[in-house]
Amino acid sequence: MPGISRWAEPGGSCRTVQRFFTKDIYWPSLNWSIEKASFGDSSGVILVAGDATTVTESGKQTFGPGKFFSSIYSRPVPGIAFQCLSLLNVEKRKSWPILTEKILPKPKQEKSKPLKKEKKRGRDPHPHLSV
């Protein structure tokens, strides 16, 4: 908090920053407002692009570690992964991220135990009479 408040203008004390972060913020709406203002009256080509990235060696306390494919290593590696969607302004060569989410690993499935074969019993000559 002190690091953020150092960059704030007058009135942006550490306590003010703390109060800001205790409020619930609807981030998609805030992001769209900022991005809409950034685009201005842009009539050029705007693309939506998505990419996933894997961060290796996530540590022992990180939530959601798993094995994710890494194009750098060309194989699944232990770590965490993120998916990001961005708006790209081709003429201005700028990108605005609109969504970043952590990708959770698939839950591990328990290996099923092979069923034990039943011992062969003598054939019941009258199966319709047995209870």
Query: Could you tell me the pLDDT band of residue 50, with boundaries at 50, 70 and 90?
Result: very high
Residues 18-29: tens digit of each pLDDT: 888 888 888 778
7-16 per-position pLDDT tens digit: 887 878 888 8
Ranges of each domain in the chain: 1-40, 42-106
DSSP string, the chain: -HHHHHTS-TT--HHHHHHHHHS---HHHHHHHHHHHHHTT--S-EEEEEEEEEEE---SS-SS-EEEEETTTTEEEEEEEEEEEEEEETTTTEEEEEEEEEEPPPPPPPPPPPPPPPPP-PPPS-TTT--
Of the listed ranges 25-34, 46-55, 103-112, 116-125, the least confidently predicted one is 116-125
